[in-house]
Amino acid sequence: MSILIKNGYVIYGENLNVVKADVLIEGNRVVSVERNINEAADTVIDATGRVVSPGFINLHTHSPMGLLRGLADDLPLMDWLQNHIWPREAKLTPEYIKVGAYLGALEMIRSGTTTFLDMYFHMDKVAEAVLDAGLRGYLSYGMIDLGDPDRTEREIKEALREMEAIEKLNSDRVHFVFGPHAPYTCSIALLKEVRKLASEHRKLITIHVSETMAEIGQITERYGKSPVVLLDDIGFLGNDVIIAHGVWLDSRDIQILARHGVTVAHNPGSNMKLASGVMPLEKLLNAGVNVGLGTDGSASNNNLDMLEEMKLAALLHKVHNLDPTVADARTVFRMATQNGAKALRLNAGVIKEGYLADIIIINFNRPHLRPINDVISHLVYSANGNDVETTIVGGKILMLDGEVLTLDEEKVISEAEKVSEKLA
Amino acid sequence: MSILIKNGYVIYGENLNVVKADVLIEGNRVVSVERNINEAADTVIDATGRVVSPGFINLHTHSPMGLLRGLADDLPLMDWLQNHIWPREAKLTPEYIKVGAYLGALEMIRSGTTTFLDMYFHMDKVAEAVLDAGLRGYLSYGMIDLGDPDRTEREIKEALREMEAIEKLNSDRVHFVFGPHAPYTCSIALLKEVRKLASEHRKLITIHVSETMAEIGQITERYGKSPVVLLDDIGFLGNDVIIAHGVWLDSRDIQILARHGVTVAHNPGSNMKLASGVMPLEKLLNAGVNVGLGTDGSASNNNLDMLEEMKLAALLHKVHNLDPTVADARTVFRMATQNGAKALRLNAGVIKEGYLADIIIINFNRPHLRPINDVISHLVYSANGNDVETTIVGGKILMLDGEVLTLDEEKVISEAEKVSEKLA
């Protein structure tokens, strides 16, 4: 199978050079980016007036939570969790979660996300939806033991069960990741066991860290140190660890993350909506920490739109620092693409010969994206997920000219609506 | 002419009640909102799975600045203005501005704005574009005299010339507004003359006030008081005044604005992108000040998307106050609709019998807007301008099912692209 994308503005390589060129995909790889490629291809896509971009990598989400979108907003975090989110999550069956995963996958395809790092429950069901949809999913079962040794054991067992189920699918597009929920919901025993298992099975780890001030208070009270120092002290950290949020990091935490090569998944929309705080992006980048971008779940965002998330990231840090030069468009675009790929050890996130063909095409023939003065600026500051027209993962077309090819859109939406009624 | 919108979720009245109903429009007004309206109508629109909402009122923008979109970002304010924006604006002819106004109008129609308050130059040209497009425009010529008495006179003369030209168009959709640029760029003499003329001609006034810390410093140094106290002292303020930004307002300023019934046009996107600061939204609302919402120009946003702007407003104030309950979805939605209408003394901004039929239809048959758990939440937190499908102003359809009827979209875009090349 080959695809030839003609006449687009291509965002080429790590430096994000925008070039008028054609892109030739053979199998699952980009094989050539140059002007006037004349080779025959199975599919030819005319990208005139369009931008050919690496697909986005959503580095932290809970994809089935679209089911709970808009059910509760504008509430204090604990009221939101205890009275609205958790009671509904308690009603979620594996089948409901699968319905939510399809809705999330459909939304991601439509808004140009090609890879995502997920944390939720029954990830073997999520994996099936991801396979069907054609996306790349890095899937973690969110483990919570609240210090109860029986639960520790059960959580480890469930994680290993889901890992096995996902490995049995034998796909290069779905990967199991260990997902202990957070230092305040997991015992030291659980965290240490996860660290050991991840190394043994060569899996990545993702975990919520330093999201709220309340968490810092709890961990400091319990352990006399910050969450990051705690994780460092128990030998948990490494360049295979992706921490989500990292809002309340101090200088010492940042040095520790840098030393271990830990990646931070930044979630500006969720941190703003839940009023968690503003993460120290500039300090992290200056310390050389790899920072990716995530939307978090649709209950706290309330969508999975990485184009919108880039704008939120850029704007939040400018106003917070009262400095318009921070979080510039190119830095933020890299966070949403190549930094995520680096964290996941994925040969994607840039368009270049030899890289995976995880590519999206964005329609710039729209008034809010004209004149085309600066492609990267327009993607970060002017565009939104609905501008994405075509989504390709590993050389397979998931959406073409606005039509989703891998999923029955009407069915996915109507089933989500039905589950939502049952959760009410 | 009559329009019947069938089977939508209608956002009804000031309280934003979402009801399944039909909406009947006769002439330029809404005449009926109820279930199963069976009267014949010239046009019947099926709004199944769609939301029927009041159109948005963009209370502060510079609509032709789309021409400069993305030309310069991530720069300190003065570098941005002096080295990038002003040199290009110096090249703008009346015809170029008209091209920019068409681009802005097209973008607004597409993203559901039905009325806007504009400040720029050659507003008689902008008025022609607004008339063609079918929007409602409140158009102010931005006056700047920098304390030079000759310029004061010239600016007054130009404003009156544009006022006359706009009045000659004799349309209820275009209105002249006085637009002295700001207290730091206008002399007291100019401000006083504007106040007098506005009262005489019964026109509104709009002016940038307290946008940046630098402005506060300048005005305090020059006059020994805050910009708001200065305007109060010279008798400038009234309930016909709309100040844009209002970022650096202190408690005394807020009391003064409340006492005079002044409206504040909040521009979160621009304030964030230019790192101007965070306006005291909660304090203004608590003091009873009318606050509307604006996008500012596309050079500092970089689009005119009011749906996106609502999300920015809600999220910014939550994180800034570390309180997720502030700037709730309904408050922000009212800012973008009825508060703007109140400021402009326009019988719009709500859907209700007798109100102007300034109505948009948003397609909710999309994964990021499902399940439909809460319509207002979805509009504020999940939707974007591209979800708008149909735009109606005063009972006239400007866009139907995604097709713009009043403008030649391709021509508008290609002319904008040509002007952009000339400005480079």
Tell me if A421 is assigned to a ligand binding site.
no
List the structure tokens of B312: 């920015």
Contacts of B417 in chain A (CB under 8 A): 370-372
Mean pLDDT of chain A: 97
Percent share of chain A, pLDDT over 90: 97
Specify the pLDDT at position B62. 98
Tell me if A181 is assigned to a ligand binding site.
yes
Gyration radius (Cα) of chain B, Å: 21
Tell me whether residues B384 and A382 touch, CB distance under 8 A.
no
Specify the pLDDT at position A81. 83
Distances (CA, A) of B5 to A396, B35, B366, B369: 40, 11, 20, 20
CB B113 within 8 A of CB B57: yes
Give the chain B residue whose CA is nearest to the CA of A414: B371
The CA distance from B362 to B372, in Å, is 13
If one counts every other C-beta atom within 10 angstroms of the C-beta of residue A366, the result is 21
Q: What is the CATH number of the domain that holds A368?
A: 2.30.40.10
Give the chain A residue whose CA is nearest to the CA of B65: A371
Tell me the per-residue pLDDT of B124-138, one tens digit each, with 9 for 90 and over: 999 999 999 999 999
Q: Tell me what the mean pLDDT of segment A244-271 comes to.
A: 98
Given a cut of 90, whether residue A291 has pLDDT beyond it is: yes
**Helix orientation angle between B409-423 and B94-111, rounded to the nearest 10 degrees:** 130
Sheet holding A56-61, edge to edge: A56-61, A113-120, A136-143, A174-180, A205-209, A241-245, A263-266, A290-293
Tell me whether residues B111 and A368 touch, CB distance under 8 A.
yes
Tell me the per-residue pLDDT of A83-136, one tens digit each, with 9 for 90 and over: 998 899 999 999 999 999 999 999 999 999 999 999 999 999 999 999 999 999
Q: What is the distance, to the nearest Å, from the Cα of residue A395 to the centroid of all Cα atoms in its chain?
A: 20
Specify the pLDDT at position B144. 97
pLDDT band of residue A76 (cuts 50, 70, 90) is confident
Give the chain B residue whose CA is nearest to the CA of A423: B373
Tell me if B245 is assigned to a ligand binding site.
no
Question: Does residue A43 form part of some domain?
Answer: yes
Specify the pLDDT at position A95. 97
If one counts every other C-beta atom within 10 angstroms of the C-beta of residue B105, the result is 31
Tell me whether residues A315 and B66 touch, CB distance under 8 A.
no
The CA distance from B370 to A374, in Å, is 33
Specify the pLDDT at position A34. 97
Tell me whether residues A302 and B378 touch, CB distance under 8 A.
yes
Give the chain A residue whose CA is nearest to the CA of B372: A417
Tell me the per-residue pLDDT of A312-352, one tens digit each, with 9 for 90 and over: 999 999 999 999 999 999 999 999 999 999 999 999 999 99
A vs B: CB pairs below 8 A: 223
Specify the pLDDT at position B80. 86
Specify the pLDDT at position A424. 79
Contacts of B324 in chain A (CB under 8 A): 74-77, 80, 273-275
If one counts every other C-beta atom within 10 angstroms of the C-beta of residue A337, the result is 29
Please identify which residue in the block is written with the tokens 């939101």: A80
Contacts of A269 in chain B (CB under 8 A): 315
CB B190 within 8 A of CB B150: no
In this complex, the residue of A75, A272, A377 whose CB is nearest that of residue B325 is: A75
Contacts of B379 in chain A (CB under 8 A): none
Cα of B401 to nearest chain A Cα, Å:
15
Contacts of B318 in chain A (CB under 8 A): 74, 272-275
Specify the pLDDT at position A131. 98
Tell me whether residues A413 and B321 touch, CB distance under 8 A.
no
Specify the pLDDT at position A175. 98
If one counts every other C-beta atom within 10 angstroms of the C-beta of residue A338, the result is 22
Question: Does residue B267 form part of some domain?
Answer: no
List the structure tokens of B359: 């109505």
Tell me whether residues B70 and A271 touch, CB distance under 8 A.
no
Which of B68, B71, B73, B111 best tests the A interface by mutation, with the highest count of A CBs <10 A?
Answer: B73
Tell me whether residues B384 and A385 touch, CB distance under 8 A.
yes
Tell me whether residues B275 and A110 touch, CB distance under 8 A.
no
Given a cut of 90, whether residue A216 has pLDDT beyond it is: yes
Distances (CA, A) of B276 to A4, A151, A323, B78, B214: 45, 50, 8, 12, 9
Specify the pLDDT at position A304. 98
Query: Residue A185: which region, alpha, beta or left (left: phi > 0; alpha: psi -120 to 50)?
Result: alpha
Question: Does residue B395 form part of some domain?
Answer: yes
Tell me if A211 is assigned to a ligand binding site.
yes
Cα of A381 to nearest chain B Cα, Å:
5
**Helix orientation angle between A409-423 and A94-110, rounded to the nearest 10 degrees:** 130
Question: Does residue A400 form part of some domain?
Answer: yes
Q: Before B302, cis peptide (omega within 30)?
A: yes
Tell me whether residues B368 and A107 touch, CB distance under 8 A.
yes
**Helix orientation angle between A123-133 and A149-168, rounded to the nearest 10 degrees:** 20
The CA distance from B351 to B361, in Å, is 12
Q: Write down how long chain B is.
A: 424
pLDDT band of residue A137 (cuts 50, 70, 90) is very high
Q: Is the dihedral of CA A57, A60, A64, A70 positive or negative?
A: negative
**Contacts of A224 by beta carbon, 8 Å cutoff, 6+ apart:** none
Question: Does residue B50 form part of some domain?
Answer: yes
Specify the pLDDT at position A276. 96
Question: Does residue B392 form part of some domain?
Answer: yes
The interface predicted TM-score of the complex, written ipTM, equals: 0.98
Question: Does residue B26 form part of some domain?
Answer: yes
Tell me if B211 is assigned to a ligand binding site.
yes
Tell me whether residues B272 and A318 touch, CB distance under 8 A.
yes
Which of A212, A330, A373 best tests the B interface by mutation, with the highest count of B CBs <10 A?
Answer: A373
Specify the pLDDT at position A82. 87
Contacts of B276 in chain A (CB under 8 A): 319
Which of A392, A409, A407, A408 lies closest to A42, judged by CA? Answer: A392
B39 exposure class (CB count in 10 Å sphere: 0-12, 13-18, 19+): exposed
Tell me whether residues B324 and A80 touch, CB distance under 8 A.
yes
Tell me whether residues B73 and A329 touch, CB distance under 8 A.
yes
Give the chain A residue whose CA is nearest to the CA of B214: A322
Question: Does residue B377 form part of some domain?
Answer: yes
Contacts of A272 in chain B (CB under 8 A): 315-316, 318-319
Tell me whether residues A278 and B319 touch, CB distance under 8 A.
yes
Q: Tell me what the mean pLDDT of segment A292-306 comes to.
A: 97
The CA distance from B124 to B141, in Å, is 9
Cα of A126 to nearest chain B Cα, Å:
17
Please identify which residue in the block is written with the tokens 């649709």: A298
The CA distance from B226 to B243, in Å, is 14
Which residue range(s) make up the domain with B46? 2-54+348-404
Specify the pLDDT at position A288. 98
A263 exposure class (CB count in 10 Å sphere: 0-12, 13-18, 19+): buried
Gyration radius (Cα) of chain A, Å: 21
Tell me the per-residue pLDDT of A166-180, one tens digit each, with 9 for 90 and over: 999 999 999 999 999
Specify the pLDDT at position A385. 98
Q: Tell me what the mean pLDDT of segment A207-224 comes to.
A: 97
Tell me whether residues A365 and B413 touch, CB distance under 8 A.
yes
Structural domains in chain B (count):
1
Q: Tell me what the mean pLDDT of segment A288-314 comes to.
A: 98
Tell me the per-residue pLDDT of B212-231, one tens digit each, with 9 for 90 and over: 999 999 999 999 999 999 99
Given a cut of 90, whether residue A77 has pLDDT beyond it is: no
In this complex, the residue of A272, A324, A419 whose CB is nearest that of residue B75 is: A324
The DSSP annotation for B110-129 comes to HHTEEEEEEEES-HHHHHHH
Which residues of chain B, if any, have pLDDT below 70? Answer: none
The CA distance from B215 to B207, in Å, is 13
